[in-house]
Structure 1
């Protein structure tokens, strides 16, 4: 597979990065801000199972860490694996949340833009939750 186009979708949050990481990295909290996981996640060993518009997906998260890394690999029923990179880093007294969106094979520019807008909506929801 050749290198895919990438776009970093990010948002600043006025809350300490460790607190944002602590909340955002817990799979049980993700349905409150990550709309693609709105149906919830069920733990299955080291993986989490999500039901969504594309069917059942198996999600494997990076282990808890001190670096703000919430990377996760999503495996769809079709066997397609998508590696999602999500970082929470210090930004002054607050944090910067960054999601690297990859343009998958067969995805046109309009679909890629729609995916980026979807990710931004989710990050805005996380921001609203964390700044309350």
Structure 2
């Protein structure tokens, strides 16, 4: 078996890594930032069902853990299994979110670049959501308000 070409796509988020992990590990919130899941996820036992442009996928997530691991196995209708390594780690007072994109067999350079751009966009959305929410909480504390 040969290894696939890999690209690690990451972003820094100015928010405690545990809060970032808790948000990301809430699978029902994933459609808010993971655009490939914009149709939502439906729980089916230990798996989640994700309708998408390539058909319906079944998603199995790593169990909740204290290490920031949100890996998930996506099984497409055609039986192809795609392992997605997704991690949140401490980065100073904030977090580093890392996604390992693996180039799938028969994927062109253009398709791989498009997938990478898609992941970058999704991580930028995640960053925006979490830093915006953090700003709101901090503004409330500055003004003596509780949120």
TM-score (norm 2): 0.89
What does residue range 1-132 of structure 1 map to in structure 2 within 5 Å? 1-132=1-132
Deviations 1:89-110 (A, max 9, x none): 0000000000000000000111
Measure, in 1, the Cα distance between the counterparts of 2:86 and 2:71: 5
Q: CA deviation at 1:27?
A: 0.7
TM-score (norm 1): 0.99
Report which of the two has the higher share of strand.
1
Q: Structure 1: 5+ residue runs without aligned partners?
A: none
Q: Structure 2: 5+ residue runs without aligned partners?
A: 133-147
Q: CA deviation at 1:2?
A: 1.4
How much is the aligned-residue C-alpha RMSD, in angstroms? 0.5
Deviations 1:61-119 (A, max 9, x none): 00000000000000000000000000000000000000000000000111111100000
> Relative contact order, CA 8 A, sep 6+: which one is greater?
1
Q: Tell me the SS of whatever aligns to 2:20.
A: helix
How many residue pairs align between the two structures?
Answer: 132
The structure having more radius of gyration, on CA atoms, is 2
